[in-house]
Amino acid sequence: MIRLDGKETSNTIKEEIKDQVTEMKAKGERVPHLAAVLVGTDGASLTYVGSKVRSCEYVGFESTLIQLEETITEEALLAQIDTLNKDERLDGYIVQLPLPKHINEEKILLAIDPKKDVDGFHPANFGRMALDLDAFIPATPFGIMQLLERYKVPTSGKHCVVVGRSHIVGRPISILMSQKGPAGDATVTVAHSRTKNLAELTKQADIIVMALGIPEYLTADMVKEGAAIIDVGITRVTDESHPKGYVIKGDVAFDEVAAKASYITPVPGGVGPMTIAMLLKNTLLARQWNLA
């Protein structure tokens, strides 16, 4: 059984990006520049954004943190988006979610210039990805593709069952793995809350991507011997014996499933750490591309 180590892979990718930035600097080129918009003072959001900004600094990107009051109007936020769209020294930016309830998230996301949408949440990017054009792929599916590719997990002609049909994980990963190309050419089934006899499906699968959000849902009896397992679930489960009062669980009952698996991502330390690396990668791509 091979553990797909997201922490190590993420570090490798960051080093690769850092090297490319060093080269750009040596050539006198402008380095990639990422901005992050944070509305309000939610603790988790602050942590995420802080970590993104620090990663930018680490690889040599320029970064800008735009902190806005919780009470900002939708109109004022849209004006801020417009400024960022027009800022030619900015390659990409993200708007940290969730936004306060008085702001329509969809409206904000649709206002982001797809050419700067390094989170890959804009429909124009989703469509470009699905139609095999250059596109910003959302960080989680992009990270999964990188893990599959770098660990050379066989996918061509394999049956992959994706459990979950969300816009940012299940749906995009199902498309990417079914397209031609590295980590692609799989026969992909998308299962979800309405699926009947899920275990019958997963038992046939050569690869299972769990993106359901139910801790330890996938048990050993649902898995074929030798399957590759990708676990996207990250749920806090109360655990009084732990100093923090909780532990992080994936959608996979790790120990029992790992015993049957050919490849498996741990939680934490699997898919999760890949996301910031892929955000940096998208920002580098934004600097390099000139999307129409």
- Interacting residue ranges for a second copy, rule: CB under 8 A: 106-107, 110, 122-128, 130-133, 135, 156-157, 165, 167, 171, 174-175, 178-179, 185-192, 194-196, 201, 292
Closer CB to a second copy, 181 or 245, in the complex: 181
Please pick, among 5, 52, 80, 117, the residue that the annotation labels catalytic. 52
Please pick, among 5, 91, 117, 119, the residue that the annotation labels catalytic. 119
Place of tokens 């320029």: 62
> Which string of b and e fits 232-255 if b means at least 16 CB within 10 Å?
bbbbeeeeeeeeeeeebbbbbbbe
| Residue 215, C-beta contacts closer than 8 angstroms, at least 6 positions apart | 233, 235, 237, 249, 250, 251
Does residue 91 carry a catalytic annotation?
no
The CB-of-205 to a second copy minimum distance in angstroms stands at 11
Does residue 185 carry a catalytic annotation?
no
Closer CB to a second copy, 107 or 236, in the complex: 107
CA-to-CA dists, residue 157 to 20, 177, 188, angstroms: 34, 10, 9
Closer CB to a second copy, 136 or 263, in the complex: 136
The CB-of-183 to a second copy minimum distance in angstroms stands at 13
The CB-of-163 to a second copy minimum distance in angstroms stands at 10
- Phi, psi for residue 204 in degrees, rounded to 5: -90, -15
Q: Is 265 helix (H, G, I), strand (E, B) or coil?
A: coil
Does residue 52 carry a catalytic annotation?
yes
* Rounded CA separation 70/91 (Å): 26
The CB-of-177 to a second copy minimum distance in angstroms stands at 10
Catalytic residues: 52, 96, 119
